[in-house]
Amino acid sequence: MKSLTAKTAIALATILLLAGCSAASTKSSTSTPSPSATNPYGGGFKVDPPKATDVVLTVSGTSSHAYTMGELTALSTKTINIFEPFLKTRQSFAVVPMSTLLNKAGLAGDQKIETLALNDYAFVDTAAHFIDNNAYLAIGRNGADIPMDQGGPIRIVFEDSSPYAKNLDAWNWSLKAIGINK
């Protein structure tokens, strides 16, 4: 059988069953992602990882940028080892500081921003809270791509020392956009 392209697979996953985050509320920071019995990210089906030229994230503020996987990989200069609360195990993530992305888009301070997943799960908070709580955009896990059916290809994570390490609502996975909350 012919392999799906990353864009087609992402669209199918979104439409069919990418239940990685709770879709019960799309404008709330009170709905915790609901894990499935077999996969805390809700399951789904295998999808080829995005190519370096595939756009995987749009960040919009006073300026806007559509990031390719290659651009995010180039911005990732740090690896963090954290307790991943959904799998309840320590994992290593290649990350980009959220502050880098937010600052470049002109998102700062008490400005409310929304992180939006492929299945339209949204988390709303201020730019300052993401920055002050050491939010990161994870682009790889344990030296490999993060599979789509496991919360990838990109997701938000927090260091163990961050107060948001236990705020599971903020751990938005299968992220597609960050922008001003309207």
Domains of the chain, with CATH numbers? 6-180 (3.90.420.10)
Q: Give the helix/strand (H/E) hosting 68.
A: strand 64-68
List, for residues 71-116, the tens digit of each pLDDT value: 999 998 899 999 999 889 999 999 999 999 999 999 999 999 999 9
Helix runs in 30-84, H state only: 69-75
The Cα 93–Cα 155 span in angstroms is 10
Rounded to two decimals, the pTM is 0.77
Whether the Cβ atoms of residue 128 and residue 179 lie closer than 8 Å to each other: no
Residue 3: is its pLDDT beyond 80? no
Encode pLDDT of 168-182 as tens digits. Answer: 999 999 999 999 997
Q: In what order do the strands lie in the sheet with 89-97?
A: 78-84, 89-97, 135-141, 155-158
> 128-164: per-residue pLDDT in tens?
999 999 999 999 999 999 998 888 999 999 999 999 9
